[in-house]
Amino acid sequence: MRDLIASFPENIEESLRIAASYTLKKPSEQLKSVVICGMGGSGIGGKLVAQWLENSLQIPVVVCQDYTLPKFVNSSTLVICSSYSGETEETLSCLHEAKELKAFIIGISSGGALVAFCEKNNYDCMEIPSGNPPRTALAFSVGQLLTIFFQLGLTNDTFIKDYQSSKNLLVDFNEQIHASAKELAAFLKNKLVLMYSASNYEAVAIRARQQFNENAKILCNHHVIPEMNHNELVGWGLADERCGVLIFDSKDLHPKNQLRLEFSIDHFKTKTPHIFRLVPEGDSLIERAIYFINVVDWASFYLSDLNDVDPIEIDVINRLKSFLSNK
């Protein structure tokens, strides 16, 4: 896992190089909606990209993480099916449904049934390197998605440039990232982990939850400002020092949300002294998000060592797949 996380900056560059080698077909109809289908390590790329682009796109983007597509999908919908293995059953179910609905389909995968289906039906499919845990292939999911939106004329190249520059950011701040990650891992050891971010960084918090789940083998929770002020803030009534709070302090909140965050932190302090504010480097939303992600990836790895668990092992997921295949 150490080597796989260390390769993240280079994967960003490689993902864009691979994506740029494709010239995608253009839809025959004007696109009126986009659905990104993907689960786990493949699906989180869709959540990140959808969130990054939401204030620049003229059409809605929905992330689908189930067996069926939203009812609005039709021939003017772009359906992107992303499955690292190419065998994710929920994503393949959506892929077949998208074909029946005559949607405009693009795949992202390292092989398997998804690539075969796209080849058979003459759909574009961006193929990415295979052989690693899907959660370590995030860079490829993101690079391919950003390129799809750009090549289809839905965005300009600003987002690709910001993503590309995030590679240099990670290299330049490598020592700082590792220091923060080790400090964060030690902080989270034996804590009930509660994470908070601005709403436009929720996908980052979800990615963090997934990494702590899979790599460090711990349960944790996340919520966003301002929504948590309308419910979870009250839930702190019976909280105690078992709670360890991780704040993704992006420093770009709406002024009212910054006030809400500070109030919330003051309230947390009445219940627990364990509060960690993680502040990113970077000038753009994408750069800051990638910085957060890389710190947490390393923190989840260091925490796996502290917890004496194997960060690669996902036996229970494999047992679930075997269970489902026999039904």
Helices (H), ranges, the chain? 2-6, 8-20, 40-53, 89-100, 112-120, 138-151, 158-172, 174-188, 202-214, 232-235, 255-268, 285-306, 315-325
Which is nearest to 182 in space by CA: 322, 287, 110, 278? Answer: 278
Question: Could you tell me if 180 and 229 are in contact, meaning their C-beta atoms sit under 8 angstroms apart?
Answer: no
Return the active site residues.
Answer: 214, 230, 321
> Could you tell me which residues are beta bridge partners of residue 222?
195
Tokens of 228: 């948590």
Helices (H), ranges, 225-284? 232-235, 255-268
The DSSP output letter for 270 is: T
Distance of CA 314 to the CA centre of its chain: 19
Which is nearest to 45 in space by CA: 148, 143, 147, 151? Answer: 143
Gap between the Cα atoms of 116 and 119, Å rounded: 5
Decide: residue 196, CB within 10 A, 0-12 exposed, 13-18 middle, 19+ buried: buried
